[in-house]
Amino acid sequence: MVTARQVAEESGFSISTVGRALADDARISVETKAQIRRVVAKLGYVENIPARIVRGGSSKMIGLMLPDIRNDFYATIADALSECCDREGYQVVFSIANDRDTECRHLKELAGARVAGLVIVPTQSPRRETLALLRHVKHVQLLRKLPSSPSPWFGIDDEECLRAGTKHLLDLGHRRIAYIGGPAGLSTAEARIKGFRRAFLDADANAADAIEEFGQTTVKFGNEVITRLLDSPKPPTAVIMASIQITKAVLDSLHRMRVSVPAELSVVGFGDAPGFQWWGPGLTTLRMQIQELATTCGLWFLHHLSNGASGELHHSSVIPAQLVVRGSTGPVGSTAQRKITSMPKDHNRIRKL
Amino acid sequence: MVTARQVAEESGFSISTVGRALADDARISVETKAQIRRVVAKLGYVENIPARIVRGGSSKMIGLMLPDIRNDFYATIADALSECCDREGYQVVFSIANDRDTECRHLKELAGARVAGLVIVPTQSPRRETLALLRHVKHVQLLRKLPSSPSPWFGIDDEECLRAGTKHLLDLGHRRIAYIGGPAGLSTAEARIKGFRRAFLDADANAADAIEEFGQTTVKFGNEVITRLLDSPKPPTAVIMASIQITKAVLDSLHRMRVSVPAELSVVGFGDAPGFQWWGPGLTTLRMQIQELATTCGLWFLHHLSNGASGELHHSSVIPAQLVVRGSTGPVGSTAQRKITSMPKDHNRIRKL
DNA sequence: ATGAAAGCGCTAACAA
DNA sequence: TTGTTAGCGCTTTCAT
């Protein structure tokens, strides 16, 4: 590749003059700049960013660590964050890591590459080394929050979200309600199950009627658990999910098993991925403004990186959610009527939580 | 951040000994290595990759340029490629660029960062500068193919794909078939429309019955065009899409307009995004093995990068597609019967093209 | 088995 | 307005 030295030789100026011209330094005459720029174009010179970083310059690279890019949630985050970064002149280096070892390995690479900052959705219990590295890299946490780490955090109101969704079902008269969510132990899962239980308390409903299922956020687990629940002696009359992936898996299973919704089972989904509105009678679901979350996070973080504004390390920000009521939820035990009214609705009723 | 020099001072060895120990050089005694590694852990030393690159080392970073990460197609690619890279010890730097200016800007950054290689889905007509830069960066093209560039290409059999989908509709007796696809000019769009037309030729059908619509792969365009078509004096009896985004938009519109499928209209979709199987009577669609494509591409490319295997610059590879027949397509003009048989099917019939 | 020193491409302090 | 020079952190001869 062409170096500044070659540009200097070709143009007859010194290396530093070339450097300054490229940095648009005020001390270089307009004419010289033009001349150098011509040579640059001719030779196809491309700046060497690593060399600049070695000298102490900042890298303009933001690491983004996500558990799964095919999940609509995270794809939206990647998209919004990438847009932010682009506007501020940053690049996104991204890493898909769904287990602590991959996470650790990738983080080491990102730190080694001297990224300017890091946006991370941490795994359930990161390795010691990961935690140690994080203390040397400027970062924010997204969605999930490590109890051990005091770094800034941006997330959604998981507890309130599940509480409101569960309340919706309780209000319709359901009691045997099943919660199906990701692995217990994740900060998000903790908050969500808390919201689920809170709704039962608030409604003076018997907590013994509640069913709680935790597992991997995979299609396999979703299929397995919904089949088991429906086959049990006392199947739930309603189900609420606490993960996008699980929601997809459950919708798929219910569709294949031809379960009549909401006649046999009322369903509340998590997230509002494309297609949820046309599933069966339309899926009642918890919609998160994940794009706003990511944008808020990106703007705040990049601003802090650029302006070196330190100060408030304990920043945290929560985005509210909405309950989108479609056809998949109805009053308990009204089979006949439901079968008629469970047609796709033209306009979704949207409620702010 | 801690440097090798600091590790050297702390451990009492020289910088070069530290460097060699970290590289696991055979000449360093086991004991010295252990000692140095202890200091490394204690101080939290992290290798400085930019410094290594400046010295001429390779970067282990692969650039990935995609038009849209929220599109299931591209998310799948990002996922598969990221997995490949991870296994081979590479990182993915990614760029979302849907217009030639963003594309050019990002490519300049990636080249500046001295990425080891680049996987790119190029925009419709990249800028001169982009093309020039590409000649200095090792890369492969994915899906779309620039006529001007002789670089390796990995894609799907677009022509055959659309031909088979259209044939399916022609076989069912449809003649007024509408093709709705992305912007003409893209290599993929060219191939797809060619396949559409070929099917008409092969079936001795009157090409004048065919309707062709090109536009942006946006929800807006999809909504607009399907509404216009159905409102026209002679609406099509079937429609086939040539883009995932447009498929989603059209499905959404048809669902909202309560169009009876396949009684009023037969529908063939493009791609097989989550939710397509439970749309209406189940969507008949063209399924591409995009994951295999990306993996094939990744393995080939990384192998060539690592082993410096040059030779065949003109490599190109094509992945076939499948027609997944579900409930959204049926014989033309059989309204009454269709209304009964258009229930979700339990098992999809899958045909190899 | 280990150390000293050169140099990668760049920027910035110091000269002129 | 432009040139000279030092040095960022690392690897790699060459020397010991």
Q: What is the pLDDT of residues A278-319, one digit of tens each?
A: 999 999 999 999 999 999 999 999 999 988 765 566 678 889
pLDDT for the residue numbered B88 = 94
What band does A343 get if pLDDT is binned at 50, 70 and 90? very low
Predicted TM-score of the model (pTM)? 0.92
Same domain, B220 and B348: yes
Verify whether the Cβ–Cβ distance A114 to B50 is below 8 Å: yes
Nearest CA in chain A to B345: A256
Residues around strand D, C-beta < 7 Å: A 12-17, 20, 27-29, 31-32, 51, 54-56; B 3-5, 15-16, 19-20, 22-23, 45, 47-48, 51-52, 54-55, 57
Which residue among B44, B79, B111 places its CB closest to the CB of A132? B44
Which residue among B113, B275, B344 places its CB closest to the CB of A49? B113
Residues of A in contact with B86 (CB under 8 A): 96, 102, 105-106
Give me the CA B22–C1' C1 separation in Å, rounded: 15
Which residue among A47, A91, A274 places its CB closest to the CB of B275? A274
Q: To the nearest whole angstrom, how far is the Cα of A79 from the nearest Cα of chain B?
A: 6
Nearest CA in chain B to A136: B1
Which residue among B112, B251, B275 places its CB closest to the CB of A47? B112
Q: CATH number of the domain that B19 lies in?
A: 1.10.260.40
Give the torsion sign (CA, B13, B16, B17, B20). positive
> Protein footprint on strand C: which nucleotides are under 7 Å from a CB?
1-5, 7-13
Verify whether the Cβ–Cβ distance B75 to A69 is below 8 Å: yes
Residue whose C-alpha is closest to residue A284's, from A166, A192, A177: A166
Nearest CA in chain B to A47: B112
The tokens for B78 are 């990002």
Give me the CA B37–C1' C3 separation in Å, rounded: 19
Same domain, B23 and B106: no
Give me the CA A89–C1' D11 separation in Å, rounded: 32
Q: CATH number of the domain that A195 lies in?
A: 3.40.50.2300
Same domain, A39 and A93: no
Which residue among A48, A113, A255 places its CB closest to the CB of B49? A113
Give the torsion sign (CA, B252, B253, B259, B264). negative
Verify whether the Cβ–Cβ distance A51 to B50 is below 8 Å: yes
Give me the CA B39–C1' D15 separation in Å, rounded: 27
SS3 track for chain B: CCCHHHHHHHHCCCHHHHHHHHCCCCCCCHHHHHHHHHHHHHHCCCCCHHHHHHCCCCCCEEEEEECCCCCHHHHHHHHHHHHHHHHHCCEEEEEECCCHHHHHHHHHHHHHCCCCEEEECCCCCCCHHHHHHHCCCCEEEECCCCCCCCCCEEEECHHHHHHHHHHHHHHCCCCCEEEEECCECEHHHHHHHHHHHHHHHHCCCCHHHCEEEECCCCHHHHHHHHHHHHHCCCCCCEEEEECHHHHHHHHHHHHHCCCCCCCCCEEEEECCCCCHHHCCCCCEEEEECHHHHHHHHHHHHHHHHHHCCCCCCCCEEEECEEEEECCCCCCCCCHHHHHHHCCCCCCCEEEEC
pLDDT for the residue numbered A311 = 54
Kindly report, residue by residue over A84-138, the tens digit of the pLDDT.
999 999 999 989 999 999 999 999 999 999 999 999 999 999 999 999 999 999 9
Q: What is the mean pLDDT of each run of 10 residues along chain B (353 residues)?
A: 94 94 92 94 96 92 96 96 96 94 96 96 95 94 92 95 97 97 95 98 96 95 96 96 97 95 96 95 96 96 82 76 95 54 38 51
Same domain, B121 and B213: no
CA of A31: nearest nucleotide by C1' is D1
Same domain, A47 and A73: no
pLDDT for the residue numbered A121 = 97
Same domain, A78 and A146: yes
CA A39 to chain centroid: 45
Among B82, B87, B328, B345, most A C-beta atoms within 10 A, so best to mutate, is B82
pLDDT for the residue numbered B313 = 63
Considering only residues A11 and A314, tell me which one the structure prediction assigns the higher pLDDT. A11
Residues of B in contact with A277 (CB under 8 A): 252, 255
Same domain, B79 and B109: yes
Kindly report, residue by residue over A219-275, the tens digit of the pLDDT.
999 999 999 999 999 999 999 999 999 999 999 999 999 999 999 999 999 999 999
Residues of B in contact with A256 (CB under 8 A): 346
Q: To the nearest whole angstrom, how far is the Cα of A333 from the nearest Cα of chain B?
A: 25
Which residue among B91, B112, B132 places its CB closest to the CB of A109? B91
CA of A29: nearest nucleotide by C1' is D1
pLDDT for the residue numbered B150 = 86
CA of A56: nearest nucleotide by C1' is D8
Verify whether the Cβ–Cβ distance B79 to A68 is below 8 Å: yes
> A54, A77, A94: which is the final residue of a domain?
A54
Q: Residue A164 above 90 pLDDT?
A: yes
Domain containing residue B37: 4-54
Please tell me the total count of domains within chain B: 3
Same domain, B26 and B39: yes
Distance between CA B283 and CA B311 in Å, rounded? 44
Distance between CA B269 and CA B273 in Å, rounded? 10
Pairing mode, strands B117-120 and B266-270: unpaired
Same domain, B221 and B181: yes
Same domain, B29 and B178: no
Residues around strand C, C-beta < 7 Å: A 3-5, 15-16, 19, 22-23, 45, 47-48, 51-52, 54-55, 57; B 12-17, 20, 26-29, 32, 51, 54-56
Same domain, A13 and A100: no
Verify whether the Cβ–Cβ distance B46 to A111 is below 8 Å: yes
Verify whether the Cβ–Cβ distance A83 to B91 is below 8 Å: no
Contact B268, B247 (CB under 8 A): no
Same domain, B189 and B326: yes
